[in-house]
Each structure stands twice: as structure tokens, then as C-alpha cells.
Structure 1
Amino acid sequence: MKRLALLAAMALATVFPAGHLVAQTALKNVAEIRDGIIYVGMAYEISDKCDSISARLFRGLTYLHSLRSRARALGYSEAEIDAYINDEAEKDRLEAIARAQLVRLGVVPEQEESYCTVGRAQIAANTRVGWLLR
């Protein structure tokens, strides 16, 4: 039985390129895409709340474009990508995750300076969020 399962898996891998196997997973569950969008949201929130830090808009747009390209490379269609991007419930969910991560990093929502402190720390550590800020 194990041998049959192994042969079936090998046959599927031969017939379907790896990207198409990944495409069977909902795009919202692909960590590199989901997390990338969350990082952009975190950077935006910091730049929106802290007057002394701004978003690197061109870098952010380029990064979002690279996420879209990566989703295509993983086998997702433009329709699947657009559906994910335009899903209002998913937008709300990702925003909540981004805000919760900022709080874990030290942001106090009512205190502008806490956004600046976290933003400067992210820039200094050259995290993905910090890379999107200046």
C-alpha cells in the first residue's frame, strides 16, 4: 500500500508541475504571499501614524508586484489572484493581523510615538517592514 501511494505521488509530480499542486491551496494560505501583504500593511500603518517615517512607495509597489508574479509562478491564475486581492473579508483579516503584529512589537494604538519607535527599530533591523520604510 505504501509503495502504491509513493508511485501515485511520483506520477502526480510528473503530470502536474509543482506550481499547479500548490495552486490547489487557497492563496490566502500561501505564507510567502500572505505575509508579504501583511508586511506592506504594517509599513503603511507605521508611515500613516508616524509623521517622521514615510513609506517607500515605489519599493512597496514593486514588492507587491513581485508577490503577484510569485503567485502566478506558483500556478495561480489572474482570476484567482484578483479574487484574493479584492476579497473584503480577507483585507479585514490581514489588516487585523498586521495591527496585532504591530502591537506585539510595541505599538500602542493611541500613541503616535510608539509607531515611530517600532518603525525606527524595524528600519534599524532591516526587516521586510523596515525595508519598506524610510
Structure 2
Amino acid sequence: MRAMTMALIFCLSAGAISAKPHLREVSKVDDTLLAVGIADEIRKNCPDISARMIKAVGLIRGVAAHARGLGYTSEEIDLYRKSDTEKARLKTKRDAYLAAGGAQAGNSQSYCQLGRQEIEKGSLIGAVLRMN
């Protein structure tokens, strides 16, 4: 009986150890989606900046491939990507980043300034943007 109990405890703890974290906790996934979202908001609000759409699509596909490489299924990735809760969480983080960078609603030049800064420093956000 004791051996069976020990085996059960071992099996349960091994399962917990190998459990995958939520995709929001995989920084490459979450940070990349956040960067693409920030870049998208900048390009929507700045008439002088547009998106490098092929780059953005490539980043998103790369994130999905990375997640699959970590053992996530396409269904798990889609659930995360389409989750209203995750979209709201990323939007809150996006808005905080924009505000910290000086972007102000209704002030297109503030978005342009932030976009130019991101492009100049070669950030992931800047990599998705280009000056018109």
C-alpha cells in the first residue's frame, strides 16, 4: 500500500513539474504580441508612420511556431490568441506603454514621436514600423 501511495505521489508531482505555463507567461510570446499591438496603435494614430505588414505577420507566425516548439497545440495557441481576457490584458499593457512613452489620445504627433523613437532605437516595436 505504501509503495502504491508513493508511486501515485510521484506520478502526480511529475505531471505538475511537466505542466506547461500559460502562454501569457512565455515572455517571447507575450512580449512579441504586445510589441505588435503597440506598433499597430502607433501606425493607426500617426499619419507619418505605417506598418511593415510582412514583418508583423512573420513575427506572429514565429510566435506560433515557438509556442508549438514548446509543446503547445494549435488549439491552445488559438484559445490564447482569441481570448477576450488576454486581449483586454494586453490592451491595458499597451495603453500603459503608450502613455509612459508620451502618446496622448487625439494627439497624432505624440504617437509619431514615440514611433520615431522606437524606429531609431531598433526595438521590436520599431521593427514593425516605417516612416512614410
> What band does the TM-score fall into relative to the shorter chain?
0.7 to 0.9
Shift of 1:108: 1.4
Larger Rg: 2
**Aligned-residue RMSD, C-alpha:** 1.7
Quote the residue 2:7 is aligned against. Answer: none
CA distance in 2: counterparts of 1:103 and 1:86, whole angstroms = 25
Cα shift readout 1:49-107 (whole Å, capped 9, x = no counterpart): 00010010011001100000000011111111011011011111101111111111111
Shift of 1:25: 0.7
Flag structure 1 segments of 5+ consecutive residues without an equivalent. Answer: 1-7
* Runs of 4+ displaced beyond 4 Å: none
CA distance in 1: counterparts of 2:66 and 2:60, whole angstroms = 10
Count residues in correspondence. 117
CA distance in 1: counterparts of 2:101 and 2:120, whole angstroms = 14
Identity of aligned residues (%): 33
2:112 pairs with one of 98, 116, 120: 116
Going by fraction, where is strand more abundant, 1 or 2?
2
TM-score, normalization by structure 1: 0.82
Flag structure 2 segments of 5+ consecutive residues without an equivalent. Answer: 1-9
TM-score, normalization by structure 2: 0.83
Shift of 1:110: 2.5
